[in-house]
Amino acid sequence: MRCDACGKEVAEGSTSCPYCFRQITSPPARGAEAVDEDFGAQFNRATTLWKDNLGDLVLFTLVFMLVGWIPILNAAFFAGYTRGLLSLNRGVKPKNGDIFSAWDCFGNALGYCLVLLAAVIVAGFIPFFGPIAQFAVSLFGTPGFYAVVDRNMNVIDALKWSIATVQRHFLPWLLAVLVGGVIGSFGLIVFIIGIIVTLPWGGLLIIQQYERVKGE
């Protein structure tokens, strides 16, 4: 289980967090119509992690931005960057070298990115509904990239799992991808270089949702 305040993993059944000493409330029982975990709690966890590690995250993201423009290889660098954020969410601070450590999943990451890119381009040709279709592709395809990076899942299996998890948890994934995407790109829209501040915040928010459903 995870502390709602700081986002750290704590022993199942704990009543207080050994890291931030906040009281931990037991999650409500899930029923057939139970709503998935409050999005606000996920947002708070991502924000707390982001604020508490902002200096490290800015440097980590800056290193990624310096190499992330390189064609083809950027799939591996983005995978490494994502792994760094996953590590932070699991209690281990990312190191700049993590960006260059995802070669084991490079083939699957590149293949997955190319499939999604092709789908987004095709969706853009749909009359009137092109932008909506493109967002739908991004929504149903986003979870799978995290599965590729985290578990080195092959492209086909990652796509199947991605579509299935969004179907099962549509609203939580919609909020995570939509809000995470807006936050992540906000720095680029407003301050350009500010993306080194906002990109990890948005990524950590999406990771909260991934961590909750990765075992399904």
pLDDT in tens, 124-174: 999 999 999 999 999 999 999 999 999 999 999 999 999 999 999 999 999
What confidence category does residue 178 fall into, taking pLDDT thresholds of 50, 70 and 90? very high
Task: State the pTM of this model.
Answer: 0.80
pLDDT in tens, 41-75: 999 999 999 999 999 999 999 999 999 899 999 99
pLDDT in tens, 179-213: 999 998 876 666 567 888 999 999 999 999 999 99
Domain positions in the chain are 39-213
Contact 138, 116 (CB under 8 A): yes
27 or 205: which carries more pLDDT confidence?
Answer: 205
* pLDDT exceeds 50 at position 111: yes
> 183: closest CA among 75, 83, 43, 49?
43
Max distance between CA atoms of the chain, in angstroms, equals 55
How many CB atoms lie under 10 A from the CB of residue 93? 12
